[in-house]
Structure 1
């Protein structure tokens, strides 16, 4: 009898260790962070954690720096995501056409995505250098005034958005190109018979059929943009004057510079809730869009 049960459930038994390992690796840090968020702890082996209940959450809600970091996070995320989706779809449509050197162009276009974010952050730090950087040299060559880029509180986040768009637009384009490959040719043939132009075919056929794919790409990218840390920390470390301090950067500062592990954990719990909420919103939108075509 035990052998028969083993044979019937063999497919589950083989994958159970891997599933258990993944669940433990995912759930333990989340549950531990939630637990620490109810304590006051300076990461000291001498002073044990002190239970403070919801005080860490309440102090964050009264903290203007927390709300400023939240606004910066949403500003960076929304603007970068919208630009990346629009450019990604446009580039995917262009690269889906046949032209000489197409494979080479696609390879070069995808290179920024495979680069190390910290290394790219340091490269862009040199590009944005106000006195000898390539960005200001380019502006001066076309008769424009040089900018402060990352040294200006107003220009810092837009400058970082340019870096993020440059590096991660290929990801959106790659996913959309995969979606374009699944679209059947019959609707385009019917549109050709009706005399529809390229723009009409794009708005009436390509874009509606690509909506589920675009939402998947946007959802994946949304999670990554919200969590952006490496490029920001490598270039500005949250400055100047906290202008580029996102929730990730502020959580790092609270935990590893101020040693307020409880407050930092509470911030990360709230940040996790924000990421999950926005992700679930996109999942709901995707299901609604898919329902329209069922």
Structure 2
């Protein structure tokens, strides 16, 4: 436990220290303590920081809502035994096998405006081609789709494990009483699986909040020419490794860390309330 605490406490503590300095240029360059100046500069930055916050929330919320709904639907379909279920489960889990960078590069080729398969399919259907990843308004929704494609299987696994652990008696009793399939799900199954559902939201939500590899692999530095997919992770990375502004970058990371801690606290409190 002491090792784990040290492993977490040291990088967080060092990042916190850097956020109060003007560290820049080089990690070995001398720096001065400037107090909360970096925090003031970042929190008043309406050009890059707050738009990045908005994109982070939009990306996380959009991906999480669809992944939870789709994951629950697929888990319910796989809950009962059926012929060929083993192969269906393997097929659903295949997106988890590839690394996020490989997935990003694959979908970058698929969504290529001129020769990509996505626009070729639209042409076959008589529909106009779309900019997909190259458009300012379509890049982030397209990457949300890519995230949904890769990480919905993770939600399916968690929810399916929760469904499998449930007793059949409540559902059978509701069925005998004449409840419909929707009523049995909404009033019986869903309340029983609520702790597992919140756990899935917690795990997937945190993971979606800190998504970086897919965004960087598809759009590169700054989240694109117009920062169209620049989330807080991409923004902090650019400050550190493109501009060498370590103090300002550390400030962004500390604020982001506090946001994640707040989300964890809210979801954990909701889970405890649901369990009671």
Which TM class, normalised by the smaller chain length?
over 0.9
Structure 1 counterpart of 2:9: 27
1:166 is aligned, of 149, 157, 165, to 149
- SS of the residue corresponding to residue 82 of structure 2 reads coil
TM-score (norm 2): 0.96
1:101 equivalenced with 2:84 (yes/no): yes
Instruction: Provide runs of 4+ in structure 1 moved above 4 Å.
Output: none
Structure 1 counterpart of 2:52: 69
Could you tell me whether the CA contact under 8 Å between 2:26 and 2:244 is conserved in 1? no
Could you tell me whether the CA contact under 8 Å between 1:222 and 1:279 is conserved in 2? no
Point out where structure 1 has 5 or more consecutive residues left out of the alignment: 1-18
Structure 2 counterpart of 1:199: 182
| Alignment map for 1:1-294 (pairs within 5 Å) | 19-44=1-26, 47-64=29-46, 65-237=48-220, 238-291=223-276
For residues 94 and 45 of structure 1, do their structure 2 counterparts lie closer, same or farther at Cα, with a shift above 3 Å needed? closer
Q: CA deviation at 1:46?
A: 6.5
Q: What is the alpha-carbon distance in structure 2 between the residues aligned to residue 46 and residue 239 of structure 1? A: 30
TM-score (norm 1): 0.91
For residues 120 and 46 of structure 1, do their structure 2 counterparts lie closer, same or farther at Cα, with a shift above 3 Å needed? closer
Could you tell me whether the CA contact under 8 Å between 1:36 and 1:261 is conserved in 2? yes
Q: What is the alpha-carbon distance in structure 2 between the residues aligned to residue 186 and residue 143 of structure 1? A: 52
Q: CA deviation at 1:234?
A: 0.1
Structure 2 counterpart of 1:6: none
- SS of the residue corresponding to residue 195 of structure 1 reads coil
Q: Deviations over 1:160-180 (max 9, x none)?
A: 000000000011110000100
Q: What is the alpha-carbon distance in structure 2 between the residues aligned to residue 259 and residue 95 of structure 1? A: 49
For residues 145 and 45 of structure 1, do their structure 2 counterparts lie closer, same or farther at Cα, with a shift above 3 Å needed? closer
Q: What is the alpha-carbon distance in structure 1 between the residues aligned to residue 124 and residue 59 of structure 2? A: 29
Point out where structure 2 has 5 or more consecutive residues left out of the alignment: none
Q: Deviations over 1:71-93 (max 9, x none)?
A: 00000011100000000001000
RMSD: 1.1
